[in-house]
Structure 1
Amino acid sequence: MATRHYFFRTFRLDPAARELHDGDELVVLPASALDCLVYLVEHRERAVGRDELISAVWGRTDVADTLLAQTILRVRRALGDSGSDGAIRTIARFGYRWIEDTREVVEANVAASPEPVAAPVEGEADEASFAAGPVAEASDPGDARVRARRRHRGMPVAVILVLVVAIVTATWWSGRDAMPQGDVATPAADAQDAPALVLPADVPGSSDWSWLRVGLIDVVGHRLREAGVPAAPSESVFAMLGADGNARDLPTGTLRIAPSARVRDGQWTVRLHVQRDGQVSDVEASSGDVLQATRAATDLLLVRLGREPPRNGEQPRPIALEELLQRTRAALLADQFDLALHLITQAPDEVRAHPEIALRLAQIDQGRGDYAAAEVRLVALVDALPADASAALRGRVLGSLGAVRFRRGHAAGAADSYAEAVRVLEPAHDPLALAAAYSGRAAIASQQERLDEAAADLGRARVEMEAAGDALGLAQVDMNLGLVESRNYRPAQALPILAGAEARIASLGAREELAYVRFALVGVRLQMLDLAEALETIQSCWPPETHTGNPRMRWRLVLSKAFVLIGMGRLGEAEVLLSRISIEADPKDDADIRARAGALAGIALAARGRHEDAVARTEASLAPTFADDSPDLYVSTWTVRLRSLRQLGRLDAAEAETAALVAWIEAHPNPWRRVHAALAQAEQAWARSPDEAALAQFASAFMLAGSLGIPDDLVEVAERYVAALLERGEIDQASAVVGRIAPWADRDLRAAWAQAQLYRAQDRVDAWQRSTERVLQLAGERALPAPRID
């Protein structure tokens, strides 16, 4: 297969990968805008009429001209053109023509599976926040590299949890072989565990049938799952496809199924081309209806696998209903909400009256961000579902209701909906929907800091994902299990779970998920004082715009890098990133990121020794809303503020605020916060009276940090404790404490400083000089504490 690239000005357009680059920078465009650009460039020898362009991009002719005009405007803006005299010329009363000098380069490529075609997008998504949503709605049917921009409505629940629990807890601051027919699989016992990957379908070129590329994945996959063969849903399939349309590093034994559909004289023939460990086989079936042909072909495959086609599962939907659901699903996944609604309004009354269409209408509301309307529609649907409605349908409705309530901040109502969804779905043999319900329930538990419950439900979700054969969903659940461990202040346990999830996600080629898991790994590695690995991890996601199409996630990556740089003493670089957030991040959609950036800016000022500025800068970070959104960073910021107040000699203010911080922690307790409450009290007591009582408080804080077992916090307490011990002349006890943190003295300024001061107190000149050199190397732009005076 040949790959074509188009070069013009400083731009490179790669239609196969669905990417536009300006130099080294990825230009993120809505799918409809990218489709429009590609079509105009590929037909640059002539003018393209409006109707032709609309049909090519949206697959229909009843799209408003205003939408086309807005799409052309977006393309022009992305190219830096301000009017019709740029690369795209408006042809009056006809359409548009590409007039830019363009060079076409054709490269040979290895033959690949059918390329996924990104469905068009009508408008940009509102990405102010994310919500748990049914796994079955999770992803874009097109290029995985741009799909995250639509995740406000349908990110897999397992990934949603990232945004519930993955506040970076960087507490530094705080040739095909012939094969006989029927031998696709070894005996049924082996097929039991063999997952299936259904690739995008090869379908007729007419835009009327483009929805089948996605639809056949789900029709085949659903039929396989009903018969007990694990098969990933379409959203995971597309996330796993590379730019060449091939899935990467599939597990041994995976059934790789490539559907194709052809119609002749009103008769459809669907063929399933099956590969397993280098062996190939085909099955096919025909019918006057494409979906019936697909089901029949899948049943033939099941027989060859030694499986009995499903009889006791859900009754097959009427063909008209199935087609409408598949068409509207493709539209929803492409954010074409108006098109999805139009398809429903044009359907016959008997089809529109089906409960699954009411559910689809709620999903359209949800996709548009109208969660109140979606909740009203779903509540009415729960009450109106007929008694003979399938358990799987009832469970999906309840799961969607839980997702909407979660997005609206109604945790109690969301928890009730998810619990009922779990109860209904457990006997329903719908592992994907059940995994979604478990994950949604886990999201609520995590939000409420009931972390053991969250971990238990994620474990249950993991079992269902594995049963469903969703390799990507499984990796996402593992990612969130690691995040729960991290939030439970167990970074040593979280690190191997997250590293394993990262390796699997990388092998599957899911770009957006890879950014999320690396984002999470940064925080854990900072807790473990692996600063060099944390920097390497964040650099693997840099620049953010080439690793995620989601603006919210980009800012999270920027913030994470600032965390790392502050921890390494590279304050100027960190401050540039934080300033970028304050200037460029959206004040409404990115309010939480801007607040965290403000807190980090204050922490950086204190690290420079600019304590007056630090006190002023951190004051805004003590707002109750910040405590709700980022409780641990709230504590860390307040602790740094208290130290700056003491450095300025404002002990009364520091004492009052210490008492307020301790009171807040007592009202919101957990082991990590108790360590920092004890440390704040010890530091305040020492500032007032450096006596035995204050020293005992340091000892208590150090014991709590030791029992917590997080290197970052152990070092944080130890540095202060050692300084107090040396001031009191307790050199032997100081030596014991320094010994506890010595393993990190080669990478952490605080540990190195404590060690150097101990050597100085012991009059060990050579050791003191070597350790002081290390201190100076680690300090970077941070101001060092005043040395102890004998």
Structure 2
Amino acid sequence: MLDVAVEFQADSAESLMIERHDRGDPGTVEVSDPLPAAKPKRRFFVGALLLLVALGGVYLSWKPHHHALIQPVLDFDHSNAAVLPAEVNAPEDSKWLRLGLMDLIGGDLRAAKIPVESSQAVLDMLSQTDMGSSSKFAAFTLVIRPHVTLDNNLWHVHLDASSPDGRIWQAESSSDNVLKAARSADTRLLAQMGFVAEPGKPTTDDAKEEYLMRIDAATYAGASEVVRELLDKAPSTVREMPEFDYAKAVFHCNQGEFELCKQGLADLLQRLPADKQPVLRGRVLAQQYYVYFREHDYAGGEAALSEAVQLLQKQKNTTYLAFAYAQRGEMELLDGKLDQAQSDFGLARVNYALDGFTVGALDMDAAMARLSMQRGQYAQALPVIQRAYDEYQRMGMRQFLPDLLQDMIVSQRALLRYADELAITERYWPFEQKHWDIPEEITRHLLVFERAHALADNGRTTEASKLLEQVLADIEHDPNGEPGLQGCVETLLAKLALQRGDIQASQAWISKALGGQLLEKDPDKRDYADAWLTNVMVLQRAGKKKELQEGMAAMQAWAAKQPAQDEWITVLLLRAQAAVAWSEGRHDQALEQLKLAMDKADAWGVPELIVDAGQAYARALLAAGKVEEASSVGGKLSTWSQLDWRAAWTQACVYHALGQAPSSEQYRSKALALAGDRELPTDASMFIY
């Protein structure tokens, strides 16, 4: 199984980021997209892209100030600035400034054309316990540490800035308004570094802005209950702002309160004509991606996101434009429009790069690598994924590594590099020994699934099955459930039981996977096709001809309903049809179908698909007495006979049919070693499928 997926659930996205950006309307509060739960093996674009979007620009600024550059003292060509959370010496109700000022200062720097790492990225780096405080930010050109103190009703803001070469800058300011003090200190700091800021528009309502910044800070801290309380107790003057309604609607999206999310965004769109607040309207349209995704209305989502792109293009708002491009690309991907998706992912990457967002651009690289994976180009995707992994590792952003680890594992599996696949899982397994603190249950389950799959690929199917059953037990305790993952785990358990010769257990597992329609929650339909094929294989081995015909009819009916043709799914469908035809004595038809499946697998060029289709075809040819043709197919698989037990066993069977006992025994020994605790067929002509 190459593609495993799970229903994306908004309520599993608990660490969402509220964003504010350069835009055409002062004081607008922008809230990021919800992060759906990851899919097993890879979040395939949705999860990765939404994570990217959420990281795309966590910073605050008002209308661009058009700073003029005067002999800058730092070069930001190769690295960004980082603003740390503020040290706050003030009453408890002012603690929101710890993150609020971090965001404000980052926005002002960015308006001065200084690339600033996202606030969430900095917080994530600080959360890592395995890096020294000095080494965390060694790669950044500039690091700013804000300090704020309230003394006799006067706010004092002090900024300490440093560069890796030891240079230090300081700036401070005082005011009865903390936001004004922070802005003044920031302007002075910019001047010291060779930037002069022209006076920007003053904040129109400091009290409103402060309240909205409190919501930002609570969201950064992952305090969803605090955010809910702030929303519930907001003053009437704040509630009148469309920005507040936007924050509230997206909060409902983040909490999985779908109907409130949908209605809130729809109502807000009615209040936001494009000629009045185009940026906020664009943001609302882009946020509606989540609604269209949940309702599987990809065409509607593409239309809404196209409007968002047009609005944000006119406003020249690169950060939000990147957000809209990425979301539209995801919709196009789900709609099977890979070329359009690739174009939009590329445009999103360009805009993130223009904004100086290292993390955003990096994640778009990884997203396009996943698009390559979808096309079967695993060898091309691996170096890109590894580079992204290394960059995140260098920056100490370990919470972004699980997705990339899954991508690397899946790519190695598709290339039949099973030892490398297992070695990648050793980077995080066992979690406790490798000090991986992964709070999201779905992410932990995905990584355990990949570990189990890697064990099975290396011949340790019994050990793998125990781990998979542990995942199922954990899922049962989750009130939200993970239906897509559950269906994929049960499918893999069925395949492993079949390979060990336990037909009864295999039947039980595949019946669970298909009986509850769990895989209907899986956006990746290849997983569903894989389950249908497994069902046919199990019924064939069990000799249940009537159930086999019914299972084949169900698979064909399902395939006919798919909106776009996927040649990968076609290969699996042909193999299932061939199994049924063979069991009914229609051997010539079965061979034609298997040959077509093999040809299509060859066209894809993915070793996993080629070997899986090729071993079935070669064994059928041997059973039909077509030894020469079987030898030709076996020759194609010989490339992987030292890596994969199926390829080695096919070679053993071919040489046995040719009367070459020594060669047959040599490959049989290799197949036994690679198969591990699997049960090799006793009859050389018996199908493995």
Question: Taking structure 1 as the reference length, what is the TM-score of the superposition?
Answer: 0.72
- In 1, Cα distance between equivalents of 2:272 and 2:47: 39
Aligned counterpart in structure 2 of residue 507 of structure 1, from 394, 399, 410: 394
Instruction: Tell me the residue number matched to 1:723.
Output: 619
Instruction: Tell me the residue number matched to 1:527.
Output: 414
- In 2, Cα distance between equivalents of 1:419 and 1:616: 46
Superposition deviation, residue 220 in structure 1: 1.3
Instruction: Tell me the residue number matched to 2:350.
Output: 463
Matched, 1:425 2:312: yes
Change (3 A) 1:686 1:166: farther
- In 1, Cα distance between equivalents of 2:401 and 2:155: 39
- In 2, Cα distance between equivalents of 1:728 and 1:413: 51
Change (3 A) 1:127 1:343: closer
Cα deviation code 1:141-187 (max 9, x no counterpart): xxxxxxxxxx997449999996455899xxxxxxxxxxxxxxx9975
Instruction: Tell me the residue number matched to 1:750.
Output: 646
Aligned counterpart in structure 2 of residue 539 of structure 1, from 413, 426, 431: 426
Whether contact under 8 Å (1:695, 1:725) holds in the other structure is yes
Superposition deviation, residue 784 in structure 1: 1.0
- In 2, Cα distance between equivalents of 1:583 and 1:520: 25
- In 1, Cα distance between equivalents of 2:685 and 2:340: 51
Whether contact under 8 Å (2:487, 2:514) holds in the other structure is no
Superposition deviation, residue 383 in structure 1: 2.5
Instruction: Tell me the residue number matched to 1:555.
Output: 445
- In 2, Cα distance between equivalents of 1:701 and 1:687: 18
Instruction: Tell me the residue number matched to 1:680.
Output: 576
- In 1, Cα distance between equivalents of 2:413 and 2:593: 26
Q: Which aligned pairs between 1:348-427 and structure 2 lie closer than 5 A?
A: 349-385=236-272, 389-404=276-291, 406-407=293-294, 411=298, 413-427=300-314
Counterpart of 2:283, as a letter, is R
Superposition deviation, residue 239 in structure 1: 1.5
Whether contact under 8 Å (2:452, 2:467) holds in the other structure is yes
- In 2, Cα distance between equivalents of 1:582 and 1:334: 31
Change (3 A) 1:495 1:310: farther
Counterpart of 2:551, as a letter, is E
Change (3 A) 1:323 1:132: closer
SS at match of 1:426: helix
Instruction: Tell me the residue number matched to 2:403.
Output: 516
- In 1, Cα distance between equivalents of 2:16 and 2:302: 13
SS at match of 1:203: strand
Higher RCO, 1 vs 2 (CA within 8 Å, ≥6 residues apart)? 2
Instruction: Tell me the residue number matched to 2:107.
Output: 222
Cα deviation code 1:550-598 (max 9, x no counterpart): 0111112222223223323322112212222332312642233222222
Instruction: Tell me the residue number matched to 1:234.
Output: 119
Q: Which aligned pairs between 1:5-16 and structure 2 lie closer than 5 A?
A: none
Counterpart of 2:538, as a letter, is S
Counterpart of 1:779, as a letter, is A
- In 2, Cα distance between equivalents of 1:128 and 1:728: 54
- In 1, Cα distance between equivalents of 2:407 and 2:70: 39
Counterpart of 2:92, as a letter, is S
Superposition deviation, residue 544 in structure 1: 4.8
Superposition deviation, residue 599 in structure 1: 1.9
Cα deviation code 1:40-77 (max 9, x no counterpart): xxxxxxxxxxxxxxxxxxxxxxxxxxxxxxxxxxxxxx
Cα deviation code 1:392-421 (max 9, x no counterpart): 333333333444554566655544443332
- In 1, Cα distance between equivalents of 2:286 and 2:198: 25
Whether contact under 8 Å (2:38, 2:47) holds in the other structure is no
Matched, 1:309 2:197: yes
- In 1, Cα distance between equivalents of 2:41 and 2:333: 8
Change (3 A) 1:626 1:348: closer
Aligned counterpart in structure 1 of residue 534 of structure 2, from 611, 625, 640: 640
Moved more, 770-779 or 588-597: 588-597
Counterpart of 2:408, as a letter, is L
SS at match of 1:268: strand
Superposition deviation, residue 701 in structure 1: 1.8
Superposition deviation, residue 230 in structure 1: 1.9
Whether contact under 8 Å (1:632, 1:673) holds in the other structure is yes
- In 2, Cα distance between equivalents of 1:763 and 1:185: 83
Matched, 1:294 2:294: no
Counterpart of 2:178, as a letter, is V
Matched, 1:281 2:175: no
- In 1, Cα distance between equivalents of 2:108 and 2:91: 26
Whether contact under 8 Å (1:134, 1:399) holds in the other structure is no
Cα deviation code 1:279-334 (max 9, x no counterpart): 4231424131222222223333444454453668x874532222112112112333
Aligned counterpart in structure 2 of residue 584 of structure 1, from 455, 462, 474: 474
Superposition deviation, residue 620 in structure 1: 3.4
Instruction: Tell me the residue number matched to 2:655.
Output: 759
- In 1, Cα distance between equivalents of 2:40 and 2:665: 50
Change (3 A) 1:159 1:323: farther
Matched, 1:476 2:354: no
SS at match of 2:144: strand
Change (3 A) 1:360 1:588: closer
Whether contact under 8 Å (1:570, 1:781) holds in the other structure is yes
Cα deviation code 1:306-365 (max 9, x no counterpart): 4453668x8745322221121121123334455445546666544443332232333443
Instruction: Tell me the residue number matched to 2:28.
Output: none
Matched, 1:658 2:543: no
Instruction: Tell me the residue number matched to 1:626.
Output: 519
Whether contact under 8 Å (1:137, 1:333) holds in the other structure is no
- In 1, Cα distance between equivalents of 2:155 and 2:489: 58
Instruction: Tell me the residue number matched to 2:501.
Output: 609
Aligned counterpart in structure 2 of residue 772 of structure 1, from 668, 678, 682: 668
Q: Which aligned pairs between 1:67-106 and structure 2 lie closer than 5 A?
A: none
Instruction: Tell me the residue number matched to 1:452.
Output: 339
- In 1, Cα distance between equivalents of 2:640 and 2:634: 10
Instruction: Tell me the residue number matched to 1:197.
Output: 82
Superposition deviation, residue 189 in structure 1: 10
Whether contact under 8 Å (1:137, 1:154) holds in the other structure is no
Instruction: Tell me the residue number matched to 1:136.
Output: 19
Counterpart of 1:423, as a letter, is Q
Quick one: percent identity of the two aligned structures? 29
Superposition deviation, residue 422 in structure 1: 2.2
Whether contact under 8 Å (2:17, 2:32) holds in the other structure is no
Whether contact under 8 Å (1:421, 1:437) holds in the other structure is yes
SS at match of 2:19: helix
Superposition deviation, residue 707 in structure 1: 0.4
Change (3 A) 1:342 1:725: closer
- In 1, Cα distance between equivalents of 2:239 and 2:561: 52
Moved more, 273-282 or 709-718: 273-282
Whether contact under 8 Å (1:197, 1:257) holds in the other structure is yes
- In 1, Cα distance between equivalents of 2:119 and 2:39: 16
Superposition deviation, residue 205 in structure 1: 5.5
Whether contact under 8 Å (1:130, 1:163) holds in the other structure is no
SS at match of 1:783: coil
Instruction: Tell me the residue number matched to 2:219.
Output: 332
Aligned counterpart in structure 2 of residue 671 of structure 1, from 567, 570, 578: 567
Question: Taking structure 2 as the reference length, what is the TM-score of the superposition?
Answer: 0.82
Paired residues in the alignment total: 637
Unaligned runs of 5+ in 1: 1-125, 139-150, 169-183
CA root-mean-square deviation? 3.7
Matched, 1:271 2:154: no
SS at match of 2:87: coil
Cα deviation code 1:50-109 (max 9, x no counterpart): xxxxxxxxxxxxxxxxxxxxxxxxxxxxxxxxxxxxxxxxxxxxxxxxxxxxxxxxxxxx
- In 1, Cα distance between equivalents of 2:70 and 2:664: 68
- In 2, Cα distance between equivalents of 1:361 and 1:534: 43
Instruction: Tell me the residue number matched to 1:176.
Output: none
SS at match of 2:642: coil
Change (3 A) 1:188 1:568: same
Counterpart of 1:593, as a letter, is L
- In 2, Cα distance between equivalents of 1:700 and 1:536: 35
Moved more, 276-285 or 752-761: 276-285
Change (3 A) 1:326 1:627: closer
Counterpart of 1:499, as a letter, is Q
Moved more, 210-219 or 410-419: 410-419
